[in-house]
Amino acid sequence: MLVHTRTSSAIDYIVTDLMRGTANVKFSNGNWYRYTNVSRRAILNLELNPNMSLGFWVNDNCVNAQRTNIVGSLSFAF
């Protein structure tokens, strides 16, 4: 798993798993969502391009991608 943090007004960070093809996304409003069946090529592209916009990547490869599934909102008890 790899955590991606960059300056973004919509996304705090993304935790990706290249082998499983998943992305856990923490939005700025505090909500977490898990996306499955995310393109492994897109995940690798995110890992290799440190200047890529997180918001653009999530919209393009998770939210608006026909192949992905959203598992739902994640909640964590601290």
User: What is the per-residue pLDDT across 20-32, written as a single tens digit (0 to 9) for each?
Assistant: 999 999 999 989 9
User: What does the block give as tokens for 50?
Assistant: 């440190």
Cβ–Cβ under 8 Å, residues 73 and 32: yes
Segment 1-17 mean pLDDT: 83
Which pLDDT score is estimated for 26?
A: 92
Tell me which of 69 and 76 has the higher pLDDT.
69
**3-state DSSP assignment of residue 11:** strand
* The pair of three-digit structure tokens given for residue 7, joined into one six-digit string: 């300056």
Mean pLDDT in the chain? 88
**pLDDT band, residue 42 (cuts 50/70/90):** very high
Q: Are 31 and 73 in contact (CB under 8 A)?
A: yes
pLDDT at res. 38: 97
